[in-house]
Chains A and B, each alone.
Chain A
């Protein structure tokens, strides 16, 4: 064993009897050796002291812990993990900034691990909107304070942690104030969100808003589509006026140009929910009118649910005769085979591949 290793061992009281004898003999031999031991001892003692530098106030830290665990009462609160990936948000970010920033002050400071550079912008809204309230779609109030461009972990004022990938950035209001905690993201980031039902956590990617309703999920977005895959819990994905609730095990794909949202059940790959547009809504209303005309139901309000696709025609739980099915499929089912599914209220009674609507969507 190297003498230095032995000194260290001796210093830390880990040397055995033989080693101790050896080192004591060595120390006795020369002043230089004793000097060496002193150096190690100084380092050892000093290194224990330098540790105690500034630290955050323990009571404040306890407050943050309580908040994380459950607003002061320590009720269980799971952190939620969110992964967001964004491909096309550059334009959006520019849009957001232009929409409302009247003045901003750029402050540079050295912070973060390893002297990483970070830019901070203190923002003021142009339309007198609330700082931190950002809505998707480009037209809303959109102002934001702090821009983070340094890859790595950042703790937001609410205790949520964002881990930013390289070449990415996110913007948030300085204190994340407002009714919701809104983050605008360009690039990829991992979110560990502190749950706060009163103030939902919203991540904006382009014109898509992902609202955390208490869950863990993954968002992947490329130039043509964005995918939201939910592992646990529920998220709400919205675009313009459309919104879709995505539950555990489901995967939602939002297509860029077609303005379509496709919901797949993770377990049953064949089932696919598509958020239809106005064309599909018209078809849906027409089907319901035909149900009344064919006297399958007395009036449109009597339709509890139905499913119409190439293989099935079921209304309020009754399987329709084949002839009736053919009549309806011939009229409404296009070669793409997409079905039409209706539920008076959202409830997951119907499954299949096609367009799903409830009464509120249609009337």
Chain B
């Protein structure tokens, strides 16, 4: 369902609630997967997506979306996740054992990794993605999981297309460098 349709229905009406919930069920999984790639925590990832939908609900009467619904949702989740990461950083700055925490590698929680059997290369790739700098990772994943174009990403994040391009390039270059030995 596209935003216009969603908006047209009017969120106050009963159908509006249904439309809202449908948008949620349609997008939750995708947005969650994206949030997960950025924050690497199931609770926070869900919270990020939930927060975005709560805000949409609160603002439903005056919400203006000038982009596609998809771009808007991914962009909002991006901001939510980055806020969290920034907060996390401030908090971590106080902790001496910060290094130990961010040595990364651990991507999924036990339950998740039990369900998903990744190939060796995929595991290594996931690890390498996790080790990308926060913003770089967030933008890269936005393009990857959100399948958003550079322009859409730039528009949603309020940055230039050049920056988006540079971040994605940086991500891929880093990944290749790390994984060159595993890539046939």
Q: Is the CB of A61 within 8 A of B57?
A: no
The answer, among A36, A58, A154, for a CB contact under 8 Å with B29, is A58
Q: Is the CB of A65 within 8 A of B50?
A: yes
Contact with B along A51-87 (1 / 0, CB 8 A): 1111110110110111011000010101100000000
Q: Would you give the shortest CB distance from A150 to chain B, in whole angstroms?
A: 9
Answer whether A51 and B145 are a contact pair too, CB < 8 Å, given A8-B172, A74-B57.
Answer: yes
Query: Is A200 part of the contact surface with B, judged by Cβ < 8 Å?
Result: no
Q: Is the CB of B176 within 8 A of A14?
A: no
Give complex CA distance A115, B101 in Å.
6
Query: Is A155 part of the contact surface with B, judged by Cβ < 8 Å?
Result: yes
The answer, among A8, A50, A59, for a CB contact under 8 Å with B169, is A8
Q: Using a Cβ cutoff of 8 Å, how many contacts connect chains A and B? A: 171
Contact with A along B54-91 (1 / 0, CB 8 A): 10011000000000000000000000000010011001
Interface size bucket, A side?
35 or more
Classify the secondary structure of B's interface with A.
helix
Q: Is the CB of B28 within 8 A of A62?
A: yes
Residues of B within 8 A of A61 (CB): 24, 28, 32, 46, 49-50
Q: Is the CB of B58 within 8 A of A78?
A: yes
Q: Would you give the shortest CB distance from B14 to chain A, in whole angstroms?
A: 9
Give complex CA distance A79, B54 in Å.
9
Give complex CA distance A58, B144 in Å.
21
Answer whether A46 and B122 are a contact pair too, CB < 8 Å, given A53-B112, A55-B29, A159-B50.
Answer: yes
| A105-121 residues at the B interface, CB under 8 angstroms | 109-116
Q: Is the CB of A62 within 8 A of B21?
A: yes
19 residue pairs from A and B, CB less than 8 Å apart: A5-B169, A9-B169, A12-B150, A12-B168, A40-B176, A50-B129, A52-B33, A56-B42, A62-B25, A64-B46, A65-B50, A76-B58, A111-B41, A112-B41, A113-B41, A114-B104, A152-B87, A153-B47, A155-B43
Identify the A interface with B (CB < 8 A): 4-5, 8-9, 11-12, 14, 36, 38-40, 42-44, 46-56, 58-59, 61-62, 64-66, 68-69, 74, 76, 78-79, 109-116, 151-155, 159, 161, 163-167
| 6 pairs of A and B residues whose beta carbons are closest in the complex | A54-B112, A113-B41, A166-B94, A151-B91, A51-B145, A114-B101
